[in-house]
Chains A and B, each alone.
Chain A
Amino acid sequence: MERIPILKIDDVLLVTIQVDMHDQLALTLQDELTTHIVTARAHGVLIDISALEIVDSFIGRMLSTIAAMARVLDAKTVVVGMQPAVAITLVELGLSLTGVRTALNVDQGMAFLRAASAQGGRHDDRPQV
């Protein structure tokens, strides 16, 4: 079965979405990532979507769900590399990616997760919007 590789760097899980996601693949990723957070004792999840040509409400919901599940398991999620055209479309579509932290690229995403981890992996205390 087709699946998206999940890499582990220290206590961060790195997922690079390189295919145009279809629905079943999105659901498989959601399940596997949640399992990996527990088995790998990960404190961060970094999802690189720079290769994604669209983010529709289904993918948006998947990203929000992953972030919510990760948060319950004491891991932070950062989505990086969104293409400008995708960002413009996302806003007009009305998708706010609630609870999903974003960063411009993998470097900045990793820096955020490392900083968060260095604080002792405490729960996110930013106000919820």
Chain B
Amino acid sequence: MTVLKSETTPLQTEADIFRVRQTVRQWAIQQGFSLVEQTKMVTATSELARNTVVYGGGGTVQIEALTTGSRRGLRLIFVDQGPGIPDIAQAMTDGYTTGEGLGLGLGGAKRLVNDFEITSRPAAGTRVCITKWK
């Protein structure tokens, strides 16, 4: 697997969420994603970016364009140094929320992509890595 290009940008404000969504859309188009695939990836981005800003207290996202030779994909790595998630299994459950959301963010985002990895340590932060292949 080769990383064609990579970019890391801050996720601190609502405006950052908006901007990252636009960037992911552009990269998804460049990777040849269909409209449905683009929409799924941008929607997952929106959910996870909001988590980083609202629950993680801000952080960064690393966007990577990938290729295996025959397949092309996008990988996003969201990192924050927030309070962390004490019970990941519970946080992944639809309907579970500590905030004002619908509690669909993590579980919903997982369903929209091919690979989903989450690691979190209390008081140290959370890292979510998603990959979607064309």
A→B interface (CB under 8 Å): 20, 22-24, 53-58, 60-61, 83-86, 88-89, 92-95
Contact = CB atoms under 8 A, between A and B. Distances in A.
Q: Which residue of A20, A58, A60 has the most chain B CB atoms within 10 A of its CB atom? A: A58
A23 B47 CA distance: 12
Nearest to A55: B43
B46 A56 contact: yes
A60 B46 CA distance: 12
SS of A interface (majority): helix
Given A89-B40, A94-B108, A95-B108, A54 B46 contact: yes
Nearest to B104: A57
Contacts of B14: 22-24
Interface string B92-124: 001000000110110111011000000000000
B17 A93 contact: no
A89 B112 contact: yes
A53 B39 contact: yes
Contact of A57 (B36, B39, B40, B105): B105
Contact of B43 (A22, A24, A61, A89): A89
B39 A88 contact: yes
B74 to A, nearest CB: 15
A61 B39 contact: no
